[in-house]
Amino acid sequence: MAKLLQVNGDLEVKKADVVVKARYKLNPLSLKFITTLIAGLKRSDDINELYQFKVKDFKELTGLKRKDLYWAVKEALKELLEKPIYIPKGNENDNDNSFLMLNWVASAEYKEGEGIVEFEISNKLRPYLLEAQKKFLKYRLENILPLKSSYSIRIYEILKDWLEMYSRQGRKAEKIITLDEFRQMLEIPRSYVYGMLKRRILEKAKAELAEHTDLIFDYEEIKTVRKVTHLHFYIRPNPKNIQADNRIQENYFNNRKAFVALLRQNYSGNEKFWGFKNMDGVNYWLGLDNDGLVYGWNGKEGIIDFNAVESAKIYDTWLKIAQNSPIYQELVSNGVCLKELALNNKELWLELREDIIRLKEEGII
């Protein structure tokens, strides 16, 4: 039986770093289809799972008003079957040019009478879409659904990846890239001279991202002998969306489900720890796996996995801490790793510990 995906802008998209940086070119509808599909994938899904979503729901979210919807869907599915994703496998430093080329889906079906699109994922591509390594990009689906240009969607993902990477390192989010590398990543045809590229791709993406997404960017042209050879990007959060983000964060502490959603947004599968638990005199750092369950790690005894009931109890305890400790609420909202905090910011760590001791004395936890 096929799995029906509920399409909404709150879905979290998680893409492995290698997929973000891969080379491919799809039209906007194809790219939104596959991105929505990626947002609905779960590691617990059967390897032969079929995935469906209703075109009507997708049409409403994207604002698609075409009268020729049947033709648009048909062309989008055709692209996903015919236009491959090109994933470099080698090491640039060793001049290894190995690569893997895959179609996005193994099969695609449009059931017009039911208004449903059904996909089958290639088994060889699935690990890249579900990869739970340190390097992956996360964002809310609502950021890309309103974008009209596929180039804008790709630029958003690339810039979002850079913004998060440099922010974690405490550095300014700016990046210099050669024009040739930029063309290759986005599969921009050579027929686009730089003037066209700037007007139709860069400037359009700059306007679309500022209007609809959680980031904005500027860029400078770097010339060599009067010819543009490099682009210097400056990326930062979009102030227009800060107020909305704050409202969302406030709601994260209303109940366990919302709190777990925040943890999954900031901590899933990336070895960042948001809590701790003492068991038999041993302190364990608490992490979050990709199925939303808690695991404990202490660096010596290895990893302890908690089942759903145990995980729920742990979430309830830390939700109470979040609701009663402004310090922890701020830390978890910003995705701060408590293990790193304990090592690198003793003063703030001690404040958090004092908060937790107080809550225990007051019988809150």
Q: What is the pLDDT of residues 74-90, one digit of tens each?
A: 888 899 999 888 887 76
- Closest by alpha carbon to 81, among 13, 34, 147, 18? 34
pLDDT of residue 133: 43
For residues 73, 75, 80, 82, the Cα torsion angle rounded to the nearest 10 degrees is 160
- Domain 1-136 grouped into CATH 3.30.565.10: no
Q: For residue 179, give both structure tokens.
A: 């024009």
pLDDT band at 67 (very low <50, low <70, confident <90, very high): low
Give 147-156 pLDDT, tens digit per residue: 989 999 999 9
The pLDDT of 274-287, averaged and rounded, is 90
Residue type, 237: P
CATH code reported for the domain at 147-240: 1.10.10.10
pLDDT band at 6 (very low <50, low <70, confident <90, very high): confident
The answer on pLDDT for 104 being more than 80 is yes
Strands (E) located in the chain: 3-4, 12-16, 50-54, 85-88, 99-102, 105-111, 116-121, 136-140, 174-178, 215-224, 227-237, 275-279, 282-288, 294-297, 303-305
Give 11-43 pLDDT, tens digit per residue: 778 777 778 878 888 888 888 888 888 877 777
Query: What is the pTM (predicted TM-score) of this model?
Result: 0.62
Residue type, 131: E
Q: Give yes or no for a contact between 3 and 49, defined as CB atoms under 8 angstroms apart.
A: yes
- Closest by alpha carbon to 211, among 255, 161, 149? 149
> For the residues of 301-338, what is the DSSP string, one character each?
S-EEE--HHHHHHHHHHHHHHHHH-HHHHHHHHTT--H
Instruction: Answer yes or no: same fold for 1-136 and 147-240.
Output: yes
Residue 78 DSSP symbol: H
Residue 67 DSSP symbol: S
Cα angle 20-22-24, degrees, rounded to a multiple of 5: 105
The pLDDT of 162-181, averaged and rounded, is 81
Structural domain spans, the chain: 1-136, 147-240, 252-361
pLDDT band at 60 (very low <50, low <70, confident <90, very high): low
